[in-house]
Amino acid sequence: MGRVPNVTRADTVAAVRNPLAFIAERWTPTRRTVQRAALYPLVMSVVIVVTGGAVRLTGSGLGCPTWPKCTDDSLTATGAMGFHGAIEFGNRMLTYVLCAAVGWAIIAARSEKPYRRSLTRLGWAQFWLVMSNAVLGGIVVLVGLNPYTVAAHFLAATALLAVATVMWQRAREGNGEPRPLVGRPVQQLVWFLVVASTLLIGVGTVVTGAGPHAGDSSEVERMPLDWETVAKLHAVLAWIVVTLTFALWFILKAVDAPKNPLDRTRDLFLVLLGQGLIGYVQYFTDLPEALVGLHMFGSCLVWIAVLRVLLALRERPEATIDLPGPAAEATVGTRA
């Protein structure tokens, strides 16, 4: 059995004052560990969007009728609350799993050598997004699933997905200055694609807010819009995104772009085709719950794929540190 190292009072004080710095001084993760740590919050962000959709689609949105407790008298769901209480409370508990994943990503990023401040900041940005969206989720319950707050809740989850995707990508890159791989016109086209995708997701939340799946079995306020008309607008935006993606792929081929942007554009196009198929089937089959849930999962994949196309337009090499060579060292010594 190895000797247990002595823990001094100074170590204890340092750990309490700045636990992240304390861990970073004593542990250096491998690059692969940091990459995996950055991937976990992204996966959990998708999971919590899908399970949040399950809460709405099973009519369990008010399974726990208050917040932060589940009921006025109980912090957790009780047996008397049945299936809906278990579904809603289970989704709340997944927030803690997401927090743990984000915390692990922050610790790994803070401990990496050399230290990359930008990577750690992306981890903290995720933490504050999770906290703010948890409060927003509580407001959703307290206002009886008001459709506007439900839409804001989903959009905040989409913002979390964006930051998690960027952190995952940054963990797999160097820390040097970004170098563009394509010309400015192609970059502008991709930004049009990002804007169109943002509008697509935003209008999708309006379809949800006006549609028949209110999130609870009781009478719940809906947005005063014809959901079928909004769904058609949503479909038009989807076709715009598909067209932009198709055009981008041809342009990248024409300018002999590097393989990574081409591959990411191809991936986006395939995801869009699958998502479009699901969207049309659910529309013509009166929005069955399973397909709506699958469409929500597809929405996450589309957003991640769009961001990966954007991030593939540049590369970040490892940062180089200019060290003095023998001649320079001799000159410094002579001057001294």
The per-residue pLDDT for range 169-182, each reduced to its tens digit, is: 999 998 888 899 99
Length of the chain: 336
Res 21: pLDDT: 84
Q: Delimit the domains of the chain by residue range.
A: 21-175, 179-316
Does 66 score more than 70 pLDDT?
A: yes
Q: Euclidean distance between the first and final Cα of the chain, in Å?
A: 52
State the pLDDT confidence band at 248, using cuts at 50, 70 and 90.
very high
**Cβ atoms within 10 A of the Cβ of 283, count?**
17
Tokens matching residue 119: 């990577």
The rounded radius of gyration (Å) of the Cα atoms in the chain is 24
**pTM for the predicted model, two decimal places:** 0.89
Question: Contact 98/41 with Cβ under 8 angstroms?
Answer: yes
**DSSP SS3 for 216:** strand
Whole-number Cα distances in Å, 95 to 13, 191, 265, 294? 30, 32, 32, 21
Tokens matching residue 277: 């198929």
Amino acid at 105: A
Res 16: pLDDT: 63
Question: Contact 70/120 with Cβ under 8 angstroms?
Answer: no
**CA–CA dist 26, 14 (Å, integer):** 12
pLDDT in tens, 26-48: 899 999 999 999 999 999 999 99
Q: Which residues contact 221 (CB under 8 A, 6 or more apart)?
A: 144, 145, 146, 147
Does 291 score more than 80 pLDDT?
A: yes
**CA–CA dist 192, 197 (Å, integer):** 8
Choice among 170-179, 259-268, 270-279 with the minimum mean pLDDT: 170-179
What would you measure as the largest C-alpha separation in the chain, in angstroms? 85
